[in-house]
A and B are shown apart, each in its own frame.
Chain A
Amino acid sequence: MTSERRFALALVAPALAAILLVAVFPLGWTVWESLHRHDLRMPWLGRPFVGLGNYAEILRDGRFRGAMAHTATFTAVTVALELLLGLFLALAMNRAFRGRALVRAAVLVPWAIPTVVAALLWRFLFDSQAGVVNAALTGLGATAEAPVWFVDGTLAWVPLVLADVWKTTPFVALLLLAGLQNIPGELYEAAAVDGAGRWGRLRHVTLPLLRPAILVALVFRTMDAFRVFDLVYVLTGGGPGTATETIALYTFNTLFQNLRFGYGSALSVTVFAVTFALAMIYVRALGTGPAGEGR
């Protein structure tokens, strides 16, 4: 083994050890559970091994399909919005202007508020009687009658998406800002000399060099959006009906309300598989996985 390899492995070992310590048992346990029929409420049924039986049930489960559809839509919309807004904010914060520090801090505040509190805040804001949103809408004459947001299957998504975008755009913005910092100024000047306008610089200099940062932002935001729980639980509880039920909420119900640990574990493994597939797609599409080379 070359000295480089030894050095590398020594550097990687602690992180790997820490991860393995915390991760191997829970992940293995979940996968193992998913292969059994295990209902805590009825211990007399035992814990029989059913192989892929739970997964077959998932395929037949209409509520699962609904939850997946909701989650996928939520993920797509919020990640797209957060990326766009985050990019805009990052570009704006990259400039030198007075009060920049304060703007940065102000922009980061939403993310610093505990999720449960943020959800409560937004529920308040969209309350049909006491909420500011409806007061503004009726005050400005935009609608005659104040809508009851959480009672309509489509409208209920608005506060959800807004709350999530509000809360996590700062994360994306900060990520992209740090990425922007790494782009040498000379490249912009060279592009300007070549006659590129603002859009041209954005397209040909900024975005390509931001690709690694965008990739990380995409991967992590997608994973988080896919697993969103606290926000939905507090804001809508999955309602009206199951219109806003996400897959994490459904899994939580299955595990801790219905105590069906086998089936709930199978749901978790399915979420994992989907998220993993998405991550792989991102890495392929954006080309520059951190382990690979080539820009």
Chain B
Amino acid sequence: MLPPTAVLRRPARAARVLATALLALLAACGGDAGGDGVRLTVSGSALGKEGEVLRRQMARFEAANPGVRVEVQQTPDDATQRHQLYVQWLNARVGRPDVLQLDVVWTPEFAAAGWILPLDRYGPPRADLFPASLEANTWRDTLYALPWFMDVGMLYWRTDLVPTAPRTLDELEAQARRARPGTAPPRRGIVWQGARYEGLVTVFLEYLGGFGGAILTPDARVAVGSPEAVRALRFMRAQVARGGIAPREVLTWHEEEARFAFQNGTAVFMRNWPYAAALLGDTAESRVAGRFAVAPMPAAPGGRPTAALGGAQLAVNAHSRHPDEAYRLIAFLTAPEQMLERAAVVGQYPARRSVYADPRLEAALGLPVAGVLDVVEAATPRPVTPIYTQLSGILQVHLHRALVGETTPEAALAAAAREMERVVERTGIRRVQR
């Protein structure tokens, strides 16, 4: 049967060439370069100034720990994308990155999944941490991550339009109405982040705490349908309704849109995170430089000023091959000296009490320390449970529906509470959580 095999020879040869090429490529790549010494990988925010200060601190750590080399593995700062990558890697038991930067709400989730190491055996500086941080990073009575810096939601207010920071929510409303930017384009009383995403839940958390409510009780009961919660949501809804002090646009805004609105001088108040302060103080780009200050979000009678806790935490990958060195790196990066440096360069609030007693902090931050400490001490974590993301997803949807006007606040919160309760039941989390 010569002719057919002759015919087969040509295409078969082509196939063989392709296969060899593929194998050659395969051989050329992959494979671990073994080396002496320990190589640690850190996954964290490494853009701009944060990147600079991180690299500087890593160099100091390497100098103090000969034999250990540290490198940064860049992951997207977009929380959802970073979370997806972490899930993929950790589920596949990948040992790198050794040190993970976690969003504050991920700790219980990763701890429950067995993806990060408990840190208690290394003797972490518990006494120096704020209660909110401790709560957020503890799962089943064990500490699983150390806070890198504190992010807290707070009120930015225009010192040239309002005499003092409002102490109650009613005062906030009144001041917003009285003082409107005179000559600027659209006048806005207050701007915040109201798009359908996690930021909305943090804003809601602050109003909720201001009215004395909570999302989950300590024994994992859903409390989102309470009268306090309804009052809080009604208050928010009134702000964005016709005649309210917030523009309807906020329901599509994230942090940056709100920041730009305030920066361009068109709002009296803004609720945002600390990162905005440095940008607002930039005299070249900002129209409100030198004319604003920060304060905790005010409360109503029966509630207390609440600042949603955010910020990054550092944890050790459970599959890391060098957990001890990884913890040493975390301890170094969260030491008071390093936190002070971050405050100076990036403007991030330190997560350790002792730093606030340091006289250098005021100069580093460029803000009065007492005011910052006020906000930091009002920090409240979101519910600390592995199913938080799922609960938050449900809450976001219903909050947004109520704010947009599709449903009433009561109906929305009742529906949210039902769904959240169902999830809590089905996952049996109540039995496991402390």
Contacts and interface: CB of A to CB of B under 8 A. Distances in A.
B15 A150 contact: no
Nearest to B394: A63
Given A42-B386, A240-B401, A241-B404, A14 B18 contact: yes
Contacts of B217: none
Interface stretch (A163-171, A180-188, A253-261): A253-261
Given A128-B249, A259-B109, A239 B87 contact: no
B238 interface: no
Contacts of A238: 196
Contact of B252 (A7, A40, A128): A128
Contacts of B275: none
Contact of B390 (A43, A129, A148, A257): A257
Interface string A5-36: 01100110110000000000000000000000
B247 to A, nearest CB: 9
A242 B113 contact: no
Interface string A38-58: 011111110000000000000
A149 B195 CA distance: 12
Interface residues of B, number: 41
Contacts of B427: 39, 41-42
Contacts of A253: 393
Contacts of B389: 257-259
A237 interface: yes
Contacts of A129: 186, 249
A153 interface: yes
A257 B4 contact: no
A151 interface: yes
B64 interface: no
A40 B114 CA distance: 9
A10 B406 contact: no
Contact of B15 (A7, A14, A40): A14
A256 B251 contact: no
Nearest to A153: B406
Interface stretch (B6-14, B289-297, B350-358): B6-14
A150 B4 contact: no
Contacts of A14: 15, 18
B3 A3 contact: yes
B91 A257 contact: no
Nearest to A156: B252
B251 A40 contact: no
Interface residues of A, number: 35
A11 B195 CA distance: 53
Contact of B251 (A3, A240, A257): A240
B393 A41 contact: no
B400 interface: yes
Nearest to B1: A3
B84 interface: yes
B80 A259 contact: no
A3 B4 contact: yes
B177 interface: no
Contact of A41 (B11, B112, B195): B112
A241 B406 contact: yes
Contacts of B91: 40
B400 A240 contact: yes
23 contacts: A3-B3, A7-B7, A10-B8, A14-B18, A40-B113, A42-B427, A43-B112, A44-B432, A148-B248, A148-B249, A149-B252, A150-B195, A150-B251, A237-B197, A241-B398, A256-B80, A257-B80, A257-B389, A257-B390, A258-B389, A258-B393, A259-B109, A259-B113
Given A150-B195, A241-B398, 12 more contacts: A6-B4, A42-B113, A42-B429, A44-B432, A45-B428, A148-B248, A148-B251, A151-B404, A240-B406, A242-B397, A258-B393, A259-B109
Interface of B: 3-4, 7-8, 11-12, 15, 18, 80, 83-84, 87-88, 91, 109, 112-114, 186, 195-197, 248-249, 251-252, 386-387, 389-390, 393, 397-398, 400-401, 404, 406, 427-429, 432
Closest CB pairs A-B (n = 6): A239-B196, A41-B386, A3-B4, A150-B252, A241-B401, A256-B84
Interface of A: 3, 6-7, 10-11, 13-14, 39-45, 128-129, 148-153, 233, 237-242, 252-253, 256-259
